[in-house]
Structure 1
Amino acid sequence: MNQFFTQKEALQKLEHFCAYQERCHAEVVTKLYSLKMSPDEIDTIVVQLIENNFLNETRFACSFARGKHRIKSWGRIRITNELKARQISSTNITLALKEIAEEYETTFDQLAEKAWNSILEKNTLKKRKKFCDYMLRRGYESHLVYDKVTTLEKES
């Protein structure tokens, strides 16, 4: 595709891109490079997107954290790592994690119960390992996971 865009066309395209779904700065810059825009044009367009409130890193981080926690049941560690990979500032990551604070424990407990009951392993050590690996992969803190596995083991 050898199509070249004027700065105005690229801005309109990116406004639509950002309006459709929350985006982080890195995604927008990558998209602009794919449209073969120069670094100066990219800077100008990003500034315009921020000024017109199409691009807002705090809003992106909060939306991302809420979505991944509610839909995929991710824990704080996984959300933090994913946001860092998208070059989100630590201030915005902290704000994003506050978004999920209220429901965090409930989601964790529900996911843990479901995971524990779905593991059919008879050997207790293997079952513990499978459970812990699963919960840690989901991004939950190790002290929470190990406390929960002990509780679940006593109950069963």
Structure 2
Amino acid sequence: MDKKSYTFEEIKQKLVNYCVYQDRCHAEVEQKMKEFMLINEAKEEILLYLIQENYLNEERFVRSYIRGKFYIKHWGRNKIRMNLKQKQISEKLIQSCFNEIDEDDYFKTLKKMFDDHYSKSSGLKEYQRKTKTISYLIGKGYEYEIILQVLEN
């Protein structure tokens, strides 16, 4: 399969479009650049341009990622953190952006997910229903301590 060859400017524009379509992290942009087999100097120049023109903004990416994964997919902090680390985002940046999730919303969402899952697992003994529900919520990335707080309320 032969690759169409693009000029430097065309590649730069393709990467601008890639970043405009949705917020990206550095690792995603670097991965995308591999398709164009650029020399290191060209990669660096494009990265610098994307950052200077604010097409690529790691903090904005992390904030929108956290909002999306919590408010739309209902992931807990642990799962969000793990997925961001896979994208080579620093723990420090992740921590500083977790304020995108309102504490009350976090608790309410967890409570609702607990109740929904718990009510679906009928026909089991009480402790089995609790155990199954706790496992499910841990799988969704919620912290065990917070799950226990929901249980107590």
TM > 0.5: yes
Q: Distance in 2 between matches of 1:150 and 1:116?
A: 14
The answer for unaligned runs of 5 or more in structure 1 is 152-156
Q: Distance in 1 between matches of 2:139 and 2:111?
A: 16
Q: Distance in 1 between matches of 2:146 and 2:15?
A: 41
1:39 Cα deviation from its structure 2 partner: 2.2
Aligned to 1:123: 125
Q: Distance in 2 between matches of 1:74 and 1:14?
A: 29
Structure 2 contact 107–150 (Cα < 8 Å) conserved: no
Q: Distance in 1 between matches of 2:119 and 2:42?
A: 55
The answer for unaligned runs of 5 or more in structure 2 is none
Q: Which amino acid aligns with 2:135?
A: D
1:67 Cα deviation from its structure 2 partner: 0.4
Report the number of matched residues: 151
Identity over aligned residues, as a percent? 33
1:77 Cα deviation from its structure 2 partner: 0.8
Structure 1, 47-56 or 139-148: larger mean CA deviation: 139-148
Do structure 1's residue 108 and structure 2's residue 110 form an aligned pair?
yes
> Residue deviations 1:21-65, cap 9 Å, x none?
010000000000012222221111111000010000000000000
Structure 2 contact 110–150 (Cα < 8 Å) conserved: no
Q: Distance in 2 between matches of 1:44 and 1:66?
A: 31
How does the TM-score come out when normalised to structure 1?
A: 0.89
Kindly report the root-mean-square deviation, in angstroms, between the aligned alpha carbons of the 2 structures: 1.5
How does the TM-score come out when normalised to structure 2?
A: 0.91
Q: Which amino acid aligns with 2:71?
A: R
Q: Distance in 2 between matches of 1:146 and 1:105?
A: 11
Q: Which amino acid aligns with 1:29?
A: E
